[in-house]
Structures are given as C-alpha cells and as structure tokens.
Amino acid sequence: MREGVAIALQRMGHASMPQLIAQMEVWSKGGPLVQRAAAAGLCEPALLKKADEVRRVLLVLDHITRSMAATRDRKHEGFRVLRQAMGYCWSVAAAANPAAARPLFVKWLRSSDPDISWVMKSNLGKARLKGFRKGVEESKVRTAKPKAKKPAKKKPAA
C-alpha cells in the first residue's frame, strides 16, 4: 500500500511539482508514516530537475530529519519505516542539487543521534553520491567545532 501512495504522489509531481512540494511541506508535519510518504513522493530522480524545487525538497527532508531527531519513542513501526526511507531519500535529492544539499548533509552528519547518523551515513554510501561524498567529508572536517581544551593542571607549590 505504501508504494502505491508514493507512486500516486510522483504522478502528481509530474503534473505539477510546485503543487506536490507545497502539499508535502504540509505532510512533513504529520506522523512518521505520513512523513515517509512525503519523502518518498518527492525523492524520485525524474521529478528533481529544477534547482529551486530541489532546494525546497531538501528543506522538507531537513524538517523531517529534525522531527526524527526530536522523537523519543523510536520502537514503533512508523519510526522504523521512516528511518529506512530517509536512508534513501537524502541521496536522491543531494544528487539532484549537490551544492544545496552539502550544508544540510554536513549539519546532520555532525549529529550525535544514532538514528540520524545512520540515515546520513547510509545515504553517503550510495553510488550516486560518489563525488559528493568527498566534498561533504572535507566540509565536515573544515567546519567541525573545535574541542574545548582542558585547563592545565596546576603543579603543587614546592
């Protein structure tokens, strides 16, 4: 059933991508299964042709990822299904507009959340992101927050 929804949404996107994006911006605020449908409906390579539309799709994925990071109950089926879909969707959108995707990827790769980390690393492993991967890894290193130095221990007075 889930695949049928994504296919129907993709058909809508072929007719009017701006209309699909606008509707999926609303759906991205729903529960995990609705968010999964939104991401899967948007992340079809044939739909992601215009840079400005891909930027909007990336913002939808960013919103969904933020929502996932805020989720406390991760044991239910909906979260698992959403996590799996997001392990694919980011790479499709990033391949369509690498420049717009790079800062978002770098931001989420720095997350200490194990599910978000899995999602982003899973996407980076996709063949379609081979060239993108190196740039993201370099950006991540360049923009990493410096670690706070530990204060030097005082030597006891003699």
∠ CA(92), CA(28), CA(53), 5° rounding?
45
Would the pLDDT of 139 be above 70?
A: no
Structural domains in the chain (count): 1
Domain membership flag for residue 137: yes
Domain membership flag for residue 65: yes
Task: Return the closest-CA partner of residue 47 out of 80, 76, 11, 74.
Answer: 11
**9: domain range?**
2-143
Domain membership flag for residue 157: no
Would the pLDDT of 1 be above 80?
A: no
Q: What is the pLDDT of residues 61-94, one digit of tens each?
A: 999 999 999 999 899 999 999 999 999 999 999 9
Domain membership flag for residue 156: no
Would the pLDDT of 153 be above 70?
A: no
Domain membership flag for residue 117: yes
Whole-number Cα distances in Å, 46 to 43, 54, 71, 99, 117: 9, 11, 31, 19, 27
Would the pLDDT of 140 be above 70?
A: no
Domain membership flag for residue 151: no
